[in-house]
Structure 1
Amino acid sequence: MPMRIEPLPALDADLLWQQAACGLLVTDDAGVITRANSTFARWLGYDQEQLLGRPLHTLLTMAGRIFHQTHWAPLLHVQGSISEVKLELLHSAGQRIPMMLNAIRRQHHGVMIQELSLFVAEDRHRYERELINARLLAEERLEHQLMIEQVLNETQQELREAHAQAERRAELAERMVGIVSHDLRNPLSAIRMAADLLQRNETDERQALERHARMVSHIGNSVDRAQRLITDLLDFTLIQVGRGLPVTLAPLDLHELVANTVEELRLTFPGRELHHERHGAGGFLGDADRLYQLLGNLVANAMAYGDSNGTVTVSTRFDPHSVILSVHNVGEPLPEQAQVHLFEPMTRGHQDDGRHNLGLGLFIVREIARAHQGDVAVISTADMGTTFVVRCPRSPEHGG
């Protein structure tokens, strides 16, 4: 049998108005309070009589007054109602009370009135603050996480690059060990062979002297080859570790320096034609030892890969802004594909002619030229032969 529900006794409308769970106000169309319930008066710390006749905007904060005048009061007049407007009202003691406002504008007995209901929004306000703080914390943590990921990615990239560089250096070291062991073996073997021949007894004193002279010459040439190889290797090591190729610039007579170097190189390459041509005159700031090394590498390259019966020509030339040093030889031209990487380390001119070198000579030439603020280029054709041209400014600003 269904339960019988007794009807509730009639409720007092004025009591409902006074003790409602929200603040209730009535204002005239100008916003002056004409009625306020006890709930609203208690929330703001006033007696109800103190609120009557008081403009509503005087209970708002300064920001609330501006918002009232520019936004929700005009909007209420235009559309007749507003809902869930957030604002702050001032307690009689001065503290701010966050509230939510709903309002209706209507006509009552021929007079326009405004009926407002307000709810304390402290819990909602606290929730919004916590929500904002949580969002800011989440954004901060996300930013921190992204920063960590970026650092991790950068670190991984650095590790990959370091690993690749280590592999390249290990490969380069392995290649260098193989090449150096081969290239040093040649002059050392020649020195040993010459020493063995010098120990032989000769009955003919004249033949013995001639043989001794030839062997001493071979030993000297082999020592020069080994010394060039070791010098290039040391310079290459300095460049690889990032110290650069050191130069000491000083005024010098380039024509005279090259002429003296050519005279010494003629002793290194007996039986080969080596000429020096000079054009123009002028001063030059350079490192004499490095320029001697540069020219020695270029001439050794021309002797090794040019026509063995041809002439190697060294030229020094001054123009208004540059100093030009060139080495020319006749013979088979360099393949175009070989010219692209000719000045890179570990690059050889020929692989199958039995003449080997460490592959650093032309690389060192380029680095010496750059240390003098210049550079080197090659021109190689069947008709004109091969010419290496080093061009530097007449007064380099600084060394490497």
Structure 2
Amino acid sequence: LNSAGGEVLLDQRVRLGGSHHQKLIVIRHSGRSDGDVAFIGGIDLCHSRRDDADHHGDQQRQAMAPVYGERPPWHDAQVAIQGPAVGDLEFCFRERWDDRSPLSRDPIGIMHDLLRHTHRKASTLPSMPADPLPRGTHAVQVLRTYARRRRGYPFAPHGERSVARGFRKAIRRARRLIYLEDQFLWSTEVARTFADALVECPSLHLIAVVPRFFDQAGVLTLRPNQVGREQAVQVLLDAAPDRVAIYDIENLAGVPVYVHAKVSVIDDVWASVGSDNFNRRSWSHDSEIACAVLDEERDARAPLDPGGLGDCARKFARDLRLQLWREHLGRAEGDDRDLLDPDEAVVRFRETAEALERWHLDGARGERPPGRVRPHPRIQPSRATWLWAEP
């Protein structure tokens, strides 16, 4: 990219062991803001993410667990943002670009960059244009995580926790259904936030879609991942064993799909798509960015106010959940009337998953049931494994 006239900086200004995990693209047009757009979500800028809803997969440059095959199927989510929020997202980019502190303090990394003639100084950006004009009915809130570092960020000297704070506020208002898609679901601290809401509200259900297998199968990475997830899932089940359900997905060939999406929908009112996972790193340690969306347009389909708080179902959040559920349950466009009411929707999700699971247990005989979702199996690590692998 640098040779082609672009400018790329390798930013290692993170806390020890941390990473810049934000995934953000901003496109601005000189003199015409109507085409300005930003993309935000879980999709990395690399060739190995080229998959679609059929999940035929994409070749990976870095080897994944063998169970995913030569072209691992990949499920991810991204949102396109237009209007004034594009300016907020560009400002987030500019804050990091304009940070004049060294890109890295690692002497080995610095020497590596010097030997490869890697670009290490940011040029001056053009003046930031005015925010684009409003384009729709959606209120978009930009949520971020920045670690608290000893030297600090000039734009976040004490770190930033708006991802964690935004989710905690939204989760406290949940009354009927929390729907999650996440790569990890790995932290007991994060799980307790959901568990508290489940205990507080007996009508609340939680459905999560996660990968059936972790992407790396090495002993030193696999066991801690398994233990970490088991701990988080157990916190949820202890809070509401009959109202928590964890699932994973496969493609129509029966190959597991790696879930990399970071999507949340609460009571068909509030939705979030971003780079942040449900783990401690994403809520405190790594840099993350997400967009929480509250649509001003109410959805006209019953139930009008599933949460019963007067918030009413919003079109964006409900449409997002239904689009994902139709994909996972093998439904055609518009075949979702029985997925509107949260209680009925939970039953339909479970029935579809159980039917596919029975088909597999029966040796995959006969016609394959519709859908791609299966109950996520629990793993019971040995006591010895718990002792050394516990996060």
Give the TM-score of the pair, scaled to structure 1: 0.20
| More strand, by proportion | 1
Q: Could you say which structure has the larger radius of gyration?
A: 1
Q: Which has the higher contact order (CA 8 A, sep 6+)?
A: 2
| More helix, by proportion | 1
